[in-house]
Chain A
Amino acid sequence: EADIYQTPRYLVIGTGKKITLECSQTMGHDKMYWYQQDPGMELHLIHYSYGVNSTEKGDLSSESTVSRIRTEHFPLTLESARPSHTSQYLCASSDGSINEQFFGPGTRLTVL
């Protein structure tokens, strides 16, 4: 079944740890996105990709990095987690033709 997956769903980690948030989609979409959302706030685009080996920073500056080696996989990495990184991270994909984005279930990250 075509879907978009995010793991882990919840992560509690200590300051200074390196973490990777996984995002995979079986929708066959070329375009993928990462959003960050603090409680009660809007979603902010932090990274996007229009295809393999294409990555761009979004409108909100983020210390995270992304890679797009395979069409279906768009992981996000934080080299050294800090409490300010505590947030929800949402991954999305689209085929770009009608500009509808499909969202994953999200990863809720807490950095102690």
Chain B
Amino acid sequence: AQRVTQPEKLLSVFKGAPVELKCNYSYSGSPELFWYVQYSRQRLQLLLRHISRESIKGFTADLNKGETSFHLKKPFAQEEDSAMYYCALSPLNTDKLIFGTGTRLQVFP
């Protein structure tokens, strides 16, 4: 079955601390993986995708096929990073997204 698991509902850190939001997936193949973010009172929006291998707002995510993981990392958290983060998987050759339950990141000053 295709599934995305985000084991942490809430992650709290202090400003300047490193952040890692965990995402594991189950899929028999090579999916496309994404991180979407929802800031307070804003819409859900794409943060980054694994195929572009880019850093957005200091966040990076590496696809580990062996561990079937796509963890989101940032070396130094900022208060404005506080938001809800969703990991999502798109099966090959489809436009559908399968979402995890999300992790709320709280960054304290």
Interface residues of A (CB under 8 A from B): 31, 33, 35, 40-45, 48, 50, 58-59, 90, 94, 96, 99-106
Contact = CB atoms under 8 A, between A and B. Distances in A.
Contacts of B46: 100-101
Contact of B98 (A59, A102, A106): A59
Contacts of A96: 95
B43 interface: yes
Interface centre among A41, A94, A99, A106 (most CB of B within 10 A): A99
Contacts, number: 46
Interface string B43-59: 11110010000000000
Contacts of A44: 99
A17 B99 CA distance: 30
Given A42-B4, A43-B86, A90-B44, A101 B100 contact: no
B43 A99 contact: no
A42 B96 contact: no
A103 B43 contact: yes
Contacts of B98: 45, 59
Nearest to B9: A40
B101 A40 contact: yes
Given A103-B43, A103-B45, A42 B101 contact: yes
B95 A99 contact: yes
